[in-house]
Amino acid sequence: TVIGVLETKGANIVGEDQDDIVLMPYTTVQKRLQGSQFNNVNVVLASARSMALMGRAEQEIYQVLLERHRIRPGDQPDFGVQNTTEIANVLSIITGSMTMMLASIAGISLIVGGVGIMNTMLVSVTERTREIGIRMAVGARSGNILRQFLVESVVLSCVGGAIGLLLGVGASAGITTLINSISSGADWPTVVSMPAAILALAFAASVGIFFGFYPALKASRLDPIDALRYE
């Protein structure tokens, strides 16, 4: 007997349709759908005394269930035994694979961005050759020119890193808002780790130093006379 109809909710956070379900008492499901009696046990939870005894405990539980279910050698058991270590290992493998994939994407992005910074700085050195020559003519040393272009490269990298950080935070907030809006009862927060943000900016600065060193070195080694004649 149908005693009521729920309000429309739509899909949940994992995309499952919440309007295409039937809610029934558990005992009714056991009796009408699963054909089991009320005194049957479907799940047994056990705890080992320590992690070192996990494998031994699993084997002992398996043997006890084989005897209780009267499973003869060679027959397929009608039950399964699973420990939390196996689940943790599977989750660890999945997490490690995702981390490696994201790290590869981030590494490729950093290389592409670094090459772009180096090309930009090389163009800047070429366009400002006369400026470099004038600075050297009035007393600027090679070290001054080197530091100037390194600072410019680091500033360029940090600005790009800050923009990327803001875009990432904005995208996270947007996705969180979207998930909360389409999933009833969900209230996922947007969390920004300050240590991670600082580390990202520091890494962006190191990328600027690494890829900006060659253009800065090239600028510092220009001959003042040739630089003044450059057009």
Q: Containing H/E element for 161?
A: helix 142-182
Phi, psi of 28 (to 5 degrees): -65, -40
Q: What is the pLDDT of residue 67?
A: 87
Every domain of the chain and the residues it spans? 103-229
Q: What is the pLDDT of residue 186?
A: 65
Give the pair of three-digit tokens for residue 76. Answer: 């397929």
Over its C-alpha atoms, the chain yields an Rg (Å, rounded) of 32
Q: What is the pLDDT of residue 13?
A: 63
Q: Strand pairing partners for 17?
A: 11
Q: What is the pLDDT of residue 184?
A: 61
Determine the Cα–Cα distance for residues 96 and 88; give it in Å rounded to an integer. Answer: 12
Give the pair of three-digit tokens for residue 31. Answer: 């009796």
Give the pair of three-digit tokens for residue 229. Answer: 């004649």
Determine the Cα–Cα distance for residues 174 and 168; give it in Å rounded to an integer. Answer: 10
pTM over 0.75: no
Burial of 81 (0-12, 13-18, 19+ CB in 10 A): middle
Q: What is the pLDDT of residue 52?
A: 81
Phi-psi region of 169 (alpha: psi -120 to 50; beta: other; left: phi over 0): alpha
Q: What is the pLDDT of residue 34?
A: 64
Determine the Cα–Cα distance for residues 55 and 149; give it in Å rounded to an integer. Answer: 61
CB 189 within 8 A of CB 17: no
Q: What is the pLDDT of residue 143?
A: 92
Residue by residue, pLDDT tens for the chain (231 residues) are: 788 888 888 777 666 777 888 888 877 777 776 665 556 677 788 888 887 888 888 888 888 888 888 888 888 888 888 787 777 788 888 888 888 998 898 889 888 989 999 999 999 999 999 999 999 999 889 999 999 999 999 999 999 989 988 998 898 888 888 877 776 666 777 777 888 889 888 988 999 999 999 999 999 998 888 888 876
Determine the Cα–Cα distance for residues 58 and 204; give it in Å rounded to an integer. Answer: 49
